[in-house]
Amino acid sequence: MELAGFVPEEIGGWHAESEGKYFDNETIFQYMNGSGEIYLSYDYRRMFVCTFTSGESEPIYVELFDMGSPADAFGVFTRNRQGLDAGVGQGSEYESGYLMFWRDRYFCSVYSILENEESKKVVFDLGRAISNSIGRDGQLPGLLSLLPEKSRKENSERYFHKYTCLNHHYFVADENILGLDSDTDVAMSDYFSDSGLYHLLVIRYPDEARAQSAAAGFCQTYLQKTAVGAVAVLENEKWTGARALGRHLAVVFDAPSGESADAALRQILGNAGRKGDER
């Protein structure tokens, strides 16, 4: 179905102002300037935007993105996720007039610049109507299942491909020392410990050679260790390490001890060994 077909023409006395507009991966910057890079770092196909109005009320805006796959729709959603689920689609969040959610391969933003009781109701009504029109759920990235569940911070799971996204969530380096690109898949989450949060990620490369090369480069560059698969205590007195198995590379940042860092890496790669290349 065309993206416009998921958006109602009228809801609760609010009407779509026009037929709306489409923006593909070449014209997206005409609509959102530099922030278009966020979507292009995933498998973005195109977006549909339209405006709803009712009398003299402030307009409500709809932005519906075709992200190419459920995994990438989930990934874009998790980029700035912070709070509790708002109950729309497969995952959602609402704050200060802005609702975002994902369902199947689609990511959607519905928002009003001026939040009030009426606008909030219409924003949610529009979100639910669009989600219902999509009508089907998509699968979460299989890579998420390789991350441990114990002590995981709720709603901290993220999915992405490129090192610019990694640096958004946890700054590693100006250089792309892990060799991330559009052909790599990354799942990441935060975990609780007595000394604060630590971070785990698992990367799937196109081939084993890329994974091994990334492991060696990370250990030498970031840890200043020549031994591949090492863990090391850094200046913040927390432990970081990386280890590869087949096409997968597990990385831990800021673990409270060398033992916990090593255990986390072994658990991720153990899961990878059992589940193989599940997507």
Instruction: Please tell me the predicted confidence (pLDDT) of residue 226.
Output: 78
Determine which helix (DSSP H) or strand (DSSP E) holds 129, and give its type and residue range. Answer: helix 117-134
Instruction: Please tell me the predicted confidence (pLDDT) of residue 278.
Output: 54
Taking the C-alpha atoms of residue 144 and residue 243, their distance in angstroms, rounded to an integer, is 17
Instruction: Please tell me the predicted confidence (pLDDT) of residue 33.
Output: 83
The strands making up 231-233's β-sheet, listed across from edge to edge, are 158-160, 185-193, 196-204, 248-255, 239-245, 231-233
Taking the C-alpha atoms of residue 111 and residue 119, their distance in angstroms, rounded to an integer, is 8
Taking the C-alpha atoms of residue 268 and residue 243, their distance in angstroms, rounded to an integer, is 10
Handedness of CA 69, 75, 80, 81 (dihedral sign): positive
Instruction: Please tell me the predicted confidence (pLDDT) of residue 277.
Output: 58
User: Where do the domains of the chain lie, and which CATH numbers do they carry?
Assistant: 3-134 (3.40.1000), 142-275 (3.40.1000)
Taking the C-alpha atoms of residue 62 and residue 103, their distance in angstroms, rounded to an integer, is 15
Taking the C-alpha atoms of residue 90 and residue 101, their distance in angstroms, rounded to an integer, is 7
Exposed e or buried b per residue across 203-226, where buried means at least 16 C-beta atoms within 10 angstroms of its C-beta: bbbeeeebbbbbbbbbbeebbebe
Neighbours of 48 (CB within 10 A): 22
Mean pLDDT for each 10-residue chunk of the chain (279 residues)? Answer: 91 91 94 90 96 93 98 97 92 96 98 94 98 97 96 96 97 96 97 94 97 95 86 94 96 96 96 73
Parallel, antiparallel or unpaired: strands 196-204 and 248-255: antiparallel
